[in-house]
Amino acid sequence: WKKLYLAHHWPVTVCKMSANDCQDPPEYWTIHGLWPDKGEECNRTWHFNVTEIKDLMSDMRHYWPDVLHSSPNRTQFWKHEWEKHGTCAATLEVLNSQKKYFGKALELYQHIDLNSCLLKAGIKPSSSYYQMTTIKEALTRFYGVTPKIQCLPPEKGEKAQTIGQIEFCFTKELQLRNCTALKGESDTMQPDLKLGSEELSVCSDTLPTYYPSKVQ
C-alpha cells in the first residue's frame, strides 16, 4: 500500500443511515478508522486483544466510539478495524502492534483536530445548507492538502446531500498528503461504511450540503 486514510465520521449522519440503537450520538467528529489504501485482513491469525489497548481505553471510548451500538463495553467495532485494516497497516514499524496502531490513530486525530478547524472556519452543524466548495476550501486552506469528503446522497424528495465522512491522507512517513491519486497509483479504497442500502459516496460539488446537528 502507498498511503493511509484517517477517516472521521459525523455520528449524526451515521445514525441517520441506520435504524440502529443510536442513542445521543456525539456532537463531534469521531474516528472511523485508519486505513491503508490497499489490503484487507492481511493477517487472519493476528486476533484483536482488547487488553493490549487498555491504557488507551478512555480515549478510545471518547474519540473512537462505536456510534451505532451505544453499549460502552462493546469492542466489536475496534476488532473489525484491527482485523481488516490494522493487520495491514502493521507492516510499518510505527503501527506494528495493536497499541501502536490505535495509539497512533488517536495521535493523528488529535493532531488534525478537525472539530476545531471547522468551527474556526465558521462551519458548524446547522439546519441551513452549506456549499460543498466552501467546506473543501476551508479544509484545504487549513491543512494545505485536499481531503476526501463523503456524503449521503439526497433521499427521495430531498435536494441536499448530507455530509458523513472526512478522510485525511498520510504518507508512510505519516506526513499529510493530498487524497487524490498520484500518477501510477490506483485509488481502490472502497467505502467501508454501508448500512442497509444507504452508503456514502464522494460528495457532489454542486448539491447543497446538510451538516445535521441532530438525528431527525
User: Is residue 216, in this structure, part of any structural domain at all?
Assistant: no
> Would you state the pLDDT for residue 194?
53
d(CA 104, CA 99): 8
> Would you state the pLDDT for residue 193?
52
User: Is residue 95, in this structure, part of any structural domain at all?
Assistant: yes
User: Is residue 125, in this structure, part of any structural domain at all?
Assistant: yes
Residues designated catalytic: 32, 81, 85
d(CA 48, CA 86): 10
d(CA 82, CA 78): 6
User: Is residue 190, in this structure, part of any structural domain at all?
Assistant: no
> Would you state the pLDDT for residue 187?
54
User: Is residue 91, in this structure, part of any structural domain at all?
Assistant: yes
> Would you state the pLDDT for residue 20?
67
Q: How many domains does the chain have?
A: 1
User: Is residue 122, in this structure, part of any structural domain at all?
Assistant: yes
Decide: 166 and 173 in contact? Cβ < 8 Å: no
d(CA 168, CA 145): 8
> Would you state the pLDDT for residue 94?
98
Category of 162 on φ-ψ map: left (φ > 0), alpha (ψ -120 to 50) or beta? beta
Decide: 108 and 169 in contact? Cβ < 8 Å: no
User: Is residue 186, in this structure, part of any structural domain at all?
Assistant: no
Q: Which range of residues forms the domain containing residue 122? A: 4-181+196-211
- And the C-alpha cell for 177? 498528503
- And the C-alpha cell for 211? 451538516
Average model confidence (pLDDT) for the chain? 90
CB-based contacts of 145: which residues, under 8 Å, 6+ apart? 168, 169, 176, 177, 178, 179
Q: Report how far apart, in Å, the C-alpha atoms of 181 and of each of 8, 85, 93 are.
A: 19, 19, 24
> Would you state the pLDDT for residue 73?
73
> Would you state the pLDDT for residue 188?
52
Please list the pLDDT of the chain residue by residue as tens digits (216 residues).
Answer: 999 999 999 999 998 887 667 878 999 999 999 999 988 889 999 999 999 999 999 999 999 999 988 776 789 999 999 999 999 999 999 999 999 999 999 999 999 999 999 999 999 999 899 999 999 999 999 999 999 999 999 988 889 999 999 999 999 999 999 998 665 555 555 545 554 456 899 999 999 999 999 876
Decide: 164 and 150 in contact? Cβ < 8 Å: yes
CATH number for the domain including 137?
A: 3.90.730.10
Where do we find the cell 450520538?
A: 25
> Would you state the pLDDT for residue 216?
67
